[in-house]
Amino acid sequence: MKIETVKIATVKPNPDNPRLIKDESFRKLVKSIQDFPEMLKIRPIVVNKDMVVLGGNMRLKACKEAGLKEVPIIKAETLTAEQQKEFIIKDNVSGGEWDFDVLANEWNIDLLNDWGLEMPIEVIENDLIETENKTIIEEIPYIIYCSEIEYNQIKSLSKVKDIKEIILNEVK
């Protein structure tokens, strides 16, 4: 299968797509496409013979929002209707888990957040505490979005003297 570049208007969103992306996650996807459009060539949108998206519905939506006029695609023309349905699900099922310890220690948490990976509060808390002597870092270089319960846990780390900003999200 070869990668083609086509006018974005020729690619049709799949009306039966079971995946959604909303609000902040969608904004992050749009930003990632604007910042790193080369990634689309590495992971093109997959369409059937009728140009209906099988893999990449949210990327297509984000590409339109980002103002792209063309997108790279791969046509999966030989798949049966049943195989197309299977592909839609399997393309979106995550087959693994993140190793948050490696991410916290080897990667920049702010960049990970910018790229759309949300770190759990435990990783952020652990990032605040030095591992050997458990002393608290006195300055938090990022905003922490958390529930009221998580806020109280962070606040209980009484050695933290200068929390720049803590925004409470109401737990639904």
Which domains does the chain carry?
Answer: 3-92 (3.90.1530.10), 100-168 (no CATH)
Pairwise CA distance, residues 87 & 135, whole Å: 49
What is the pLDDT, as a whole number, of residue 46?
Answer: 97
> In which element (H, E) is residue 47 found?
strand 45-47
Q: pTM (2 decimals)? A: 0.64
The predicted model gives 108-117 an average pLDDT of 78
Which long-range contacts does 22-27 make (Cβ < 8 Å, 24+ apart)? Answer: 25/116, 26/58, 26/61, 26/62, 26/65
Give 30-81 pLDDT, tens digit per residue. Answer: 999 999 999 999 999 999 999 999 999 999 999 999 999 999 999 999 999 9
pLDDT band at 137 (very low <50, low <70, confident <90, very high): very low
Residues 6+ apart with CB under 8 A from 15: none
Percent of all residues in the chain with a pLDDT value above 70, rounded to a whole number? 68
Going by C-alpha positions, the residue among 32, 12, 9, 10 that lies closest to residue 21 is: 32
**Overall size of the chain counted in residues:** 172
